[in-house]
Amino acid sequence: MLEVIDIHKTFNPGTINEKVALNGVSFTLNDGDFCTVIGGNGAGKSTIMNAICGVWPVDSGAIVIDGNDVSGLSEHERAPFLGRVFQDPMIGTAADMQIDENMALAARRGEQRTLRWGVTAAEREQYKEILKTLDLGLEERLTAKVGLLSGGQRQALTLLMATMKRPKLLLLDEHTAALDPKTAAKVLETTDKIVKQHNLTTMMVTHNMRDAIAHGNRLIMMNEGRIVIDVKGEEKAKLTVEDLLHKFEEVAGRDSVSDRMVLS
């Protein structure tokens, strides 16, 4: 489903701010894989997500989604394949537009924006049904501006929007990190439900090792722009936080653990 082949990306090359953010990243996700991604701050987790989304072109390497080489496509051209939820709840939705308008934008991902109505009455009914599954009462507030919603509500809505039009790949970049623990747990639960329901191929960055272990069938750990740990299946299922810390020490050196891994 997703093939990432030897991706390199250096920011600000040739300046004092030069930063090798991705240093030869390769991995493959199969159909229906749910892969969690962990690593210290600045390890390159968001950068690999951005590379897949085409926020900027990579320096070298290829990204293949469902057999399509998308490496040469710009961000909006790749969007039809991808559903995304960002860390910042403000980013995933348009605050000044209504809930239904936001959903309608997402429902047309990958389609021509024509001169037909932006949201139809039939769609509104459909959106209500979808919103009910969130159990947040948003179905009663279809015409409310999204800016009036809480961070958790916005994140849940973004998740719906990312998955309404089935993406080939769902990318979640610390999408619960900005939420309070209770809300975070709820959004995570919803995530699991939606991913299972549609059998979505998913990548989820998290800084919470326990979440990374508890969710999905695959786990990748990054450090300094490389994948340093990649476990799946049986091995992944048996993984403990202790194991992960040990493994991380092996590859990244003893000191880095306490400093850079954020545990919760």
Ligand X SMILES: Nc1ncnc2c1ncn2[C@@H]1O[C@H](COP(=O)(O)OP(=O)(O)O)[C@@H](O)[C@H]1O
Per CB under 6 A, residues contacting ligand X are 11-12, 19, 21, 39, 41-47
Contacts with 56 (C-beta within 8 Å, 6 or more apart), sequence order? 9, 50
Contacts with 38 (C-beta within 8 Å, 6 or more apart), sequence order? 45, 205, 206, 207, 209, 212, 219, 220, 221, 222, 244
- At 238, which amino acid appears? K
Is the CB of residue 51 less than 8 Å from the CB of residue 63?
A: yes
Closest to 206 measured CA to CA, from 238, 174, 247: 174
- Cα diameter, the chain: 60
Shortest spacing between CB 21 and ligand X, in angstroms:
4
CB count within 10 Å of CB 240 equals: 11
Choosing among other proteins, Mg ion, ligand X, none, which partner's interface includes residue 202 (Cβ < 5 to 8 Å by kind)? Answer: none
Shortest spacing between CB 202 and other proteins, in angstroms:
16
Closer CB to Mg ion, 43 or 63, in the complex: 43
Closer CB to other proteins, 161 or 184, in the complex: 161
Of 22, 43, 53, 58, the one binding other proteins (CB under 8 A) is 53
Q: Which of 12-20, 45-53, 98-106, 138-146 is the region at the interface with Mg ion (rule: CB under 5 A)? A: 45-53
When asked if residue 76 is in the footprint of other proteins (CB under 8 A), the reply is yes
Shortest spacing between CB 45 and Mg ion, in angstroms:
5
Report the distance separating Cα 240 and Cα 121, nearest Å: 49
Shortest spacing between CB 235 and ligand X, in angstroms:
23
Residues that bind other proteins (CB under 8 A): 53, 75-77, 79-80, 82, 84, 86, 91-97, 101, 104-106, 108-119, 161
